[in-house]
Amino acid sequence: MRRTLETERFFEMLSVERVSAFNTLESYRTDLEDFDSFLTTQGVDLLAVQVTDVRAYLSDLTDRGFAASSQARRLSALRQFYQFCYAEDIRDDDPTRTVASPRKAATLPSVLSEEEVDRLIGKAEELANITHDSDAKQIRAARIYTLLEVLYATGLRVSELVSLPVSAAIRDSRLITVKGKGGKERAVPLSPRAQSAMVEYVRLRAAVGAYADSVWLFPSHGESGHFTRQAFGRDLKALALEADIDRNKVSPHVLRHAFASHLLQNGADLRVVQQLLGHADISTTQIYTHVLEERLQKLVEDHHPLA
């Protein structure tokens, strides 16, 4: 992207005023770079864009095989940039204002059944409780079990989960405070099983003298200092094989979906689930309304005299 004073001011605003996460900043930068590359082929400057240029870019994304959801995300980045330009008097209009977001089909999230989640966690617990032939294997088994217990108890995003501080286990609390998207904090409850797994995992680490100085609950020797979501996804698929569950059905995000769906199936309020998941907008949580519809249908079938 042709860096200008305006684009640098935009990213500074995102970083300082909105406290955007590093991944969000990099995503916006990548999206703007791609748009700027397209404009270069059209001979248009980034600050001289018209509505027709934005629509032409979306058509180009379609031609390149981008899904509607990816197009909507890129348009969102452009909206943020041009709204900033308008607010700062860099431009006297917003060329994205009248551009409709590409419609994306509402797809239901993949969900594991309660029986499958029980089997997965049960296998992890079984492997954590046997004696392994090395400390590294013992810690690895305890880690995946603890990750699963905490994830299914809280519904955390995987990035929130792997970056939990070790203080989350040291505190004797039924609630932990999590910093989510945009730096927003929320309190999530911990089940007794999750609390116990966390405490035992930290105790095991201390007993073998591993990661004594780490501030992370799930530390690693990698650049971030904590376990990565990619490594968690890899270990989870390996565990699925052990539990005789299709590995293609299992991922950290699927377990977050399971947390939300199982809560709703058992009578939780949609607004409560929204708060627990850390969704800023209820519309994001409404993807789970299929669960509510199934429950209402069952209630009618079970209790209506004409059913």
Answer whether 219's CB lies under 8 Å from 211's CB: yes
Q: What is the pLDDT confidence band of residue 140, given thresholds at 50, 70 and 90?
A: very high
Residues 204 and 253 in one domain: yes
State how many domains the chain has: 2
User: Is residue 102 assigned to a domain?
Assistant: no
| Residues 133-141, mean pLDDT to the nearest whole number | 94
Burial pattern 194-210, b for ≥16 Cβ within 10 A else e, equals: bbebbebbbebbeeeee
Q: Using the structure block, give the residue that is written with the tokens 């979906």.
A: 257
Task: Answer yes or no: is 93 within a domain.
Answer: no
> Within this chain, do residues 190 and 239 fall inside the same structural domain, yes or no?
yes
Give the model's pLDDT for residue 97: 92
Across 118-124, average pLDDT: 97
Question: Is 199 within a domain?
Answer: yes
3-state DSSP call for residue 135?
helix
Is 15 in contact with 57 (CB distance < 8 Å)? no
Identify the top-confidence range among 131-145, 182-196, 259-273.
131-145
Q: Give yes or no: residues 277 and 209 share one domain.
A: yes
Which CATH number characterizes residue 56's domain? 1.10.150.130
277 and 145 assigned to the same domain: yes
User: What average pLDDT score do residues 134-156 get?
Assistant: 96
| E strand spans, 128-207 | 175-179, 185-189
Structural domain that includes position 248: 114-300
Same domain? 31 vs 132: no
Residues known to be catalytic = 157, 181, 253, 256, 279, 288
Indicate if 119 and 64 belong to the same structural domain.
Answer: no
Residues 179, 252, single domain; the answer is yes
Instruction: Record the pTM.
Output: 0.64
Domain CATH for 128: 1.10.443.10
Q: What is the pLDDT of residue 5?
A: 79
pLDDT, one tens digit per residue, over 200-237 is 999 999 998 888 889 999 999 888 899 999 999 999 99
Query: In which element (H, E) is residue 295 found?
Result: helix 289-303
